[in-house]
Structure 1
């Protein structure tokens, strides 16, 4: 291509969903912001396929599923998106899959998009909006979204994928950036670099290294926190007793891989009850956590009433007031009451509109009083008690948060019966549209989650509140309520419990080691005096962000050179090191300690950064924070690259992989 000006070059490290979302926004904004007389070359660097990336790659067990219904997954903006760029609607996963069921095959809308493999294609042809798809189906969707984004780029924008690991980036703040790739001699030379690696692995922490050393001494098995799909479970023997610390999604995945994944099967009776038929190759799983119960089941119904108008009590106006205040904010004291009131509004809006027969006041009268009262006031309690006669229809955060709080059981068998009853009731409630108020609360919970990053960026929370409140209690509470497994997984859990292959340890789990027996131990105050011994321990949760221990070679080098800054929140009472990359909240530019401020040519997005609440894909019509950030960053990138007078053409740094589409020259 012959241009009046030399090509601009952007390198994006990481080619998963976050990079795909950024590429979609570049395509959407390019007609307005990119000069057609200049070429833009975008290098994507990732050893895993562009679109799904590592986490959502096709090459993982077909047993692993999403924890979202197909209709609740989208990569596209919509009418709720508060963005400066153009809204370009696109299909949710469910809508995309529907084209396969009627034979039109949505791949026709994205030239050169590969057809899913036969197993995934068969799934897509029968997938409904309320099904929980396999991760391989999501991989196919993300691949299609990536190809569609490529096809939407103007002729002057070209994308090349390098199947490699980025190991370093160097260059002055006012000059070209050199991105080095493993196994390549020549670097990629870029005007701007975006770091979008997604969820990263970390080297084991001190406590995990100590347990690994114990396991080696006694010929036992210890698995540190990590992605379940990548865990090497081959060392676990049939019948071996295994302690799993963590009762969230990582546990659910491990449960599937160690039971069905080893040849067992579930059989459904006429009433839907499951029975597990073991293969004889399964280990025995002892599971516990801080709460001692699994995450709440995902709802499997739609709102029965109108969508609640959110945000109402925890939106921009409320944040303005909080940020403008004079004193540092404590999350639980100053912020949580507004968050709780917002979630309560979503809950009661659905209850009053969808199930008015279970309320005792007209909605206008209730909401007028609700709006003026504080969440934790006696007047609010009296209002809700009078307006909502049924206790099961009232929102009780404390009971939701710690269901085993203050409960003590004499034997593990007694705990087993209680947990089984708790799980069965939870699944039944989350699959019964009569309790759709829970979905109203869930939508409000998502709204609250999306508002919090602004409060954090304003620096108004105390260090202790960020550490123990935001990154501690709130993150766990949100995940517990909003990120649980589909109901069928919890019914499988009940069947495995009945078969004796999953056993419950209780809340506030304490894990240790016994040198005399060479076993790992687990104990809980829920069953005082009872100690479980096992020959294997799995830390069943994902590692959090940690710049000190990251296994990503590029981030590790930048951090050790002072070119990345860890988020540190401190005040006279406490210092909190979050392990996250500190970025400029306006444009995502990394804060360079050497420069003493944002690096003008390096940007970081997503999971490893201090821009919390940035999931790469989202539920439709929720004004997703990541979509807003993608749009803002894409527009800033295009403006900067279009204005930058690059001094010479960039070396491509080796042969890129063929994407099947050549966009532009």
Structure 2
């Protein structure tokens, strides 16, 4: 089925409860998180015995619901996933078990559509993930029972308020009342964090969509470009300014080389608050993992899950961090039995290593060497080290951390420690795939990416921008903002900020994200759940750990929310 912007009608059965008006549900945002909620609602409604017609309106301005803006199928294919294909699956196993061919995993879908890419450990173009998610959206819409009417509205919801009749959603053209609203607004269409005190004419305010924001007109060839930020979005910007302009990468025996087109920029100069590099993620196709690792990861997860839960919440450094260190030490010595960790115990030495990493000021050559070393480890060219042990342990134990920390599992006083540690651990654990790190190193070798100004000040002079570090200065033609806002930062005109201002929702103490229960229901100041409203995704980061993922196994909020909606419908029918 292809959805239009008009109501999609099914052969409607007569409502068996004529005294009730249809139950009205709105999805505000329907990227991946909204899709998962929609799929769970279709699954639950198909199994109810309720007797009320249901009307669902999907507000999604992006042209491909399910994919949203981040996974737009039209984006260039050089923008690749940071999540291996084997981990992407739009369908829960309970849906797949009866007809797995009808509900394919991403790898199975690739095997049909793009067979040359259909390997479990590939990092596919984001555009292809968008195609897959968009198809899953259309399939999901077909799975609703016949008492459900769907309407897709591409308008942006600009306002939200509550009255006795329900939740009012306002677009530029109309205001509509709903019994149930699910907010899944994600990255607010790739909005970037603001850049202070820089003339707008000199600034490219965000990286995405790259084909518009980083076009030849916006950033002319041979420009010298400063990039604010030194993480995954920075790498995407580098690829857009090189490979995206006709340049090519060649690989020989792991080593990458860049072949210029003549349309690329002259130089890319990243700068960031810390200058800390982001390290390559191991490539299972080349990294020689020892057979004991899976058992070590499983034991580490069990240790976390078995920790006794204090009433005030777990303390990160006292309870959770020692488990991570112990597991990392076991992994490193299993992978490299003759590795010399140091004079003390593995836990002590790894803790010292990490604290040194956090406090260290990286010179440009230090940062370059750390990136190169991580790439060598990730591709099996050298033995594993402390960075690998800590990063891979954090990544492997992350599902257990999500379970222990989400919904108030962490003590309020421990949030500053956790956020500090997690920020640095993410550089070790959730970096780019090894092949993108190889491309970045090739651009450094080609002299296009210059790390000399990693920790510098941006000076706004008369009609020019200058990066300055020590006595060195470099004039730049454009500043590209590659810093995404924190999940707890909401635009003043956003729906989340409107709800905060009106007192319907609150931030979670310590974490900063929106406080919700395990069914995605906001917990307002009076500690009562807000009937008819749910929030999932990035805005709840902290209350729910690890929202920025495509994994369906990590969180249960969509399923519990869908069940709660069906319970509300049943309760209304009983009146």
Taking structure 1 as the reference length, the TM-score comes to: 0.71
Q: Give 1:39 deviation, angstroms.
A: 2.6
Looking at structure 1, the residues matched to 229 and 391 of structure 2 have their Cα atoms a distance apart, in angstroms, of 25
Aligned partners of 2:473, 2:71: CA distance in 1, in Å? 38
Q: 1:93, 1:13 → 2: CA distance?
A: 25
Residue equivalent to 1:323: 310
Q: Compared with structure 1, are the counterparts of its residues 314 and 598 closer, same or farther at alpha carbon in structure 2 (3 Å cutoff)?
A: same
Other-structure match for 1:457: 407
The question of 1:563 aligning with 2:546 is answered no
Evaluate the alpha carbon distance shift between residue 470 and residue 27 of structure 1 in structure 2; reply closer, same or farther with a 3 A threshold.
same
3-state SS in 1 of match to 2:320:
helix
The 1:403–1:469 alpha-carbon spacing in structure 2 relative to 1, beyond 3 Å, is: closer
Per the alignment, residue 504 of structure 1 pairs with 451
Among candidates 477, 481, 488, match of residue 539 of structure 1: 481
- Give 1:231 shift: 6.5
Q: Deviations over 1:326-377 (max 9, x none)?
A: xx765334432233334555x35xx74xx6xx5389xxxxxxxxxxxxx999
Partner of 1:606: 537
- Deviation track 1:497-527 (CA, whole Å, cap 9, x = no partner) reads 22221100366x242315368433243xxxx
Which residue of the partner structure matches residue 430 of structure 2?
483
SS at match of 2:275: coil
Give the Cα–Cα distance (whole angstroms) in 1 for the partners of residues 505 and 254 of structure 2: 57
Pairwise mapping of residues 162-561 of structure 1 onto structure 2 (< 5 A)? 162-172=153-163, 175-183=165-173, 185=174, 187-200=175-188, 208-210=195-197, 212=198, 215=199, 221-224=202-205, 227=208, 229=210, 232-233=213-214, 234-268=217-251, 272-290=255-273, 292=275, 294-301=277-284, 305=291, 307-308=294-295, 312-313=299-300, 321-324=308-311, 331-344=316-329, 347=331, 352=334, 359=337, 378-380=344-346, 396=350, 399=353, 415-416=364-365, 419-432=367-380, 438=388, 442=392, 445-448=395-398, 450-452=400-402, 454-455=404-405, 457-458=407-408, 460-463=410-413, 465-466=414-415, 468-474=416-422, 476-505=423-452, 509-515=455-461, 518-523=464-469, 529-546=471-488, 549-552=491-494, 554-561=495-502
Q: Is the 2:245–2:264 Cα contact (8 Å) retained in structure 1?
A: yes
Provide the C-alpha distance between the structure 2 equivalents of 1:531 and 1:397, rounded to a whole number of angstroms.
37
2:6 corresponds to which residue? none
Partner of 2:59: 45
> What SS does the corresponding residue of 1:188 show, helix, strand or coil?
strand
- The answer on whether the counterparts of 2:192 and 2:481 sit within 8 Å (CA) in structure 1 is no
Residue 94 (structure 1) shift = 1.2
Conserved 8 A contact 2:70-2:189: no
CA gap 1:633/1:407 in 2 versus in 1, 3 angstroms: closer
CA distance in 2, matches of 1:452, 1:78: 21
Residues 1:564 and 1:262: Cα distance change in structure 2 (over 3 Å): same
- More displaced, 284-293 or 15-24? 284-293
Deviation, structure 1 residue 158: 3.6
Question: How far apart are the structure 1 equivalents of 2:393 and 2:90?
Answer: 18
**1:138 CA displacement:** 0.3
Residue by residue, what CA displacement relative to the aligned partner does 1:399-443 show, whole Å, maximum 9, x if unpaired?
A: 56866965776xxxxx44x54444333223212298689599636
Q: 1:627-655 CA deviation, whole Å, 9 max, x = no partner?
A: x22211111111112222499xxxxxxxx
Change beyond 3 A, Cα 1:204–1:397? same
Supply the distance in 2 between the matched residues of 1:533 and 1:545 (Cα, whole angstroms). 32
Q: Which has the higher contact order (CA 8 A, sep 6+)?
A: 1
Instruction: Write the distance in 1 (CA, Å) between the matches of 2:146 and 2:383.
Output: 51
Structure 1 pair 331–24 and aligned structure 2 pair: CA distance change class (3 A): same
Work out whether residues 292 and 404 of structure 1, in 8 Å CA contact, stay in contact via their aligned partners in 2: no
Aligned counterparts of 1:406 and 1:589: Cα–Cα separation in 2: 41
Quick one: distance in 1 between partners of 2:35 and 2:328? Answer: 31
Aligned with 2:31 (options 16, 19, 24): 16
Cα distance, 1:47–1:282 mapped onto 2, change above 3 Å? same
Structure 2 Cα separation of the partners of residues 565 and 434 of structure 1: 49
* Mean Cα deviation higher: 433-442 or 608-617: 433-442
Task: Pick closer, same or farther for the CA change 1:606–1:495 going to 2, 3 Å.
Answer: same
Give the CA RMSD over aligned residues. Answer: 3.9
CA distance in 1, matches of 2:548, 2:420: 22
The answer for the alignment partner of 1:68 in structure 2 is 83
Distance 1:324 1:291, change over 3 A: same
2:565 pairs with 1:637: yes
CA distance, structure 2, for counterparts of residue 192 and residue 446 of structure 1: 36
C-alpha change, 1:533 and 1:440, in structure 2 (3 Å) is closer
Query: Is the 1:276–1:495 Cα contact (8 Å) retained in structure 2?
Result: no
Q: CA deviation at 1:255?
A: 0.3
2:9 aligned partner: none
CA contact (8 A) 1:510 1:522 kept: yes
Provide the residue aligned with 1:119 in structure 2: none
Question: What's the offset of the Cα at 1:191?
Answer: 1.6
CA positional deviation for 1:493: 1.7
Assess if the C-alpha contact under 8 Å between 2:242 and 2:260 holds in 1: no
1:267 deviates by: 3.9
- Out of 506, 518, 527, the residue aligned to residue 586 of structure 1 is 518
Work out whether residues 27 and 57 of structure 2, in 8 Å CA contact, stay in contact via their aligned partners in 1.
yes
- Looking at structure 1, the residues matched to 290 and 152 of structure 2 have their Cα atoms a distance apart, in angstroms, of 45
Q: State the shift of 1:55 in Å.
A: 1.4
In structure 1, stretches of 5+ residues that fail to align are 101-122, 362-374, 383-394, 410-414, 570-575, 648-665
Paired residue secondary structure (2:458):
strand
